[in-house]
Amino acid sequence: MPMPTSRTRAAPTNAIYAQSGGVTAVINASAAGVIEAARRSRRIGKLLAGRNGIVGVLEEDLIDTSRESDAAIAALRNMPGGAFGSCRFKLGSLEKNRAQYERLLAVFKAHGVGMFFYNGGGDSADTCLKIAQLGEALGYPLQAIHVPKTIDNDLPRTDTCPGFGSVAKYVAISTREASMDVRSMASTSTRVFVLEVMGRHAGWIAAAAALASDRKLPIPLVLLLPEVPFDTARFLAAVQARVQAHGYCTVVASEGAQTADGKFLADQGTTDAFGHAQLGGVAPLIASLVKRELALKVHWATADYLQRSARHIASATDLEQSYAVGKAAVALALQGRNAVMPTIERVRQRPYTWRIGEAPLQEVANVERKMPREFIDATGFGITPAARGYLAPLIQGEPKTPFEDGLPAYPRLKHVAVKRRLPAFSAAGKPTPA
């Protein structure tokens, strides 16, 4: 084992927390969980945060979270976005990018860091695993714990992914509300409403829209899931049938909706009047198709970041789970674990109960959980009772959110920078191009 440098003669008891990838409405609840658990522990020294995720760690741009008040940390539960900044930055393979991994370990050493908490999705779990492996290979005493987070709900080994329940709730509520609107306009005006939601590879988010409709309040819905090849004629027939039966129809389209040849509907070459390429979108495409082929008035919306930042209507269940995985990550580290991720285990369906589990990162990294085929109904435009049973508990509960002057109030963080101890290093490859 290499000797610690003079600056870090003590055992590495400090820790680093970093946020990674697309943020969620509740990722900061995980940050609060990590920070509060670390504060309560006697064995963790300082908890530092990477400014803008792993990029800040690479560039030794660290935030001293001990300078934030307990109240500010508690209030992180209410704040969307990434409180310390996130990033889209892939470290890539150990072979090709060894210098970056070694830089990470150099930063850990320089700041006496023995625990690394990485809050992200599938790619980040892989990075976290590689960091753990390199630490072991170099004999540096490091525990790398992954804190799960992704609205895509595609991490394996966990019943659900923190962040998903809130976007699911947002989409279900928005679908219900907008459907009430179009229903009341349909006799003389809009008959079809199209809502585009996230989900490039899986239809989890679009599937959650189905929760908007239940026996008490049936809504004529058509879901467009990436798992079901888009067929123009079948789609138009489904819309028309619903309009005939109910007077209106709400279409919820996954951004990843695609034709049988795997081509995304959104990538079909939209151009403006001057021939410039225009950033596509499934919703305007579907809306135009319905208007042209069925001669019905259509409105469309694209929720984009609104859906994943809507902390004001987060799921209380999701919020609690996001906090819990943060707290559990610290507990796992204190138990001596390495290269693991706390998971959510479903104990009972009705009434829904859950507990925290644990999965080795070896079984998480590079494994994408798809929506099971048995969650999609025979028409391909809806979900099964099994899917409903899975999804329904995840959107339960409305957390109390503090408001000030009619708007959600957020903590003001000080973001006090930690003094640099190493030569400058540029995280090459940043920024990721559009």
What H or E segment, with its residue span, contains residue 357? strand 353-360
Q: Using CB under 8 A, which residues numbered 394 to 413 contact its own copies?
A: 395-398, 403, 405-408, 410, 412
Closest distance to its own copies from the beta carbon of 358 (Å)? 28
| CB 125, min distance to its own copies, A | 19
Stretch that binds its own copies, among 52-60, 154-162, 234-242, 359-367 (CB under 8 A): 52-60
Among 8, 86, 150, 322, binds its own copies (CB under 8 A): 86
126 is catalytic: no
Q: Which amino acid is at 149?
A: K
Residues 343-382, mask of contacts with its own copies (x by CB under 8 A): ----------------------------------------
Verify binding: residue 83, its own copies, rule CB under 8 A.
yes
Interface residue with its own copies among 12, 33, 45, 82 (CB under 8 A) is 82
* 26 within 8 A of 166, measured Cβ to Cβ: yes
Q: Which is nearer to its own copies, 161 or 340 (CB)?
A: 161
Q: What are the backbone angles phi and psi of residue 380, rounded to the nearest 5°? A: 85, -5
> Smaller CB distance to its own copies: residue 222 or 359?
222
Residue environment code for 139-178, b if the CB has 16+ CB neighbours within 10 A, otherwise e: ebebbbbbbbbbbbbbbbbbbbbbbbbbbbbbbbbbbbeb
CB under 8 A: which stretch of 31-39, 104-112, 170-178, 230-238 binds its own copies? 170-178
Contact yes or no for 339/116 (Cβ under 8 A) = no
CB of residue 395 vs its own copies: minimum separation in angstroms? 4
Which span (49-57, 124-132, 234-242, 413-421) binds its own copies, by CB under 8 A? 49-57
- Report in angstroms how near the CB of residue 432 gets to its own copies at its nearest: 5
Query: What percent of the chain is helix, strand and coil (3-state, nearest 5)?
Result: 40, 20, 45
- Cα separation values, 369 from 150, 170, 329, 339, 357, Å: 12, 22, 22, 20, 17
Binding mask 310-339 for its own copies (x = CB under 8 A): xxxx-x------------------------
Question: Which of positions 274-303 make contact with its own copies (CB under 8 A)?
Answer: 276-281, 283-285, 287-288, 291-292, 295-303
Stretch of 127-135, 337-345, 357-365, 426-434 lying at the interface with its own copies (CB under 8 A): 426-434
Phi, psi dihedrals of residue 422, rounded to the nearest 5°: -125, 165
Q: Among residue numbers 61 through 80, which ones bind its own copies (CB under 8 A)?
A: 79-80
Cis bond upstream, residue 220 (ω within 30): no
User: What does DSSP assign to residue 326?
Assistant: H
Asked if 194 and 299 touch (Cβ cutoff 8 Å), the reply is yes
On the question of a cis peptide bond just before residue 342, with omega within 30 degrees of 0, the verdict is no
Compute φ and ψ for 298, nearest 5 degrees: -130, 145
Answer yes or no whether residue 47 interacts with its own copies by CB under 8 A. no
163: left (phi over 0), alpha (psi -120 to 50) or beta: left
Beta-bridge partners for 299: 193
Which residues are catalytic, by number? 152
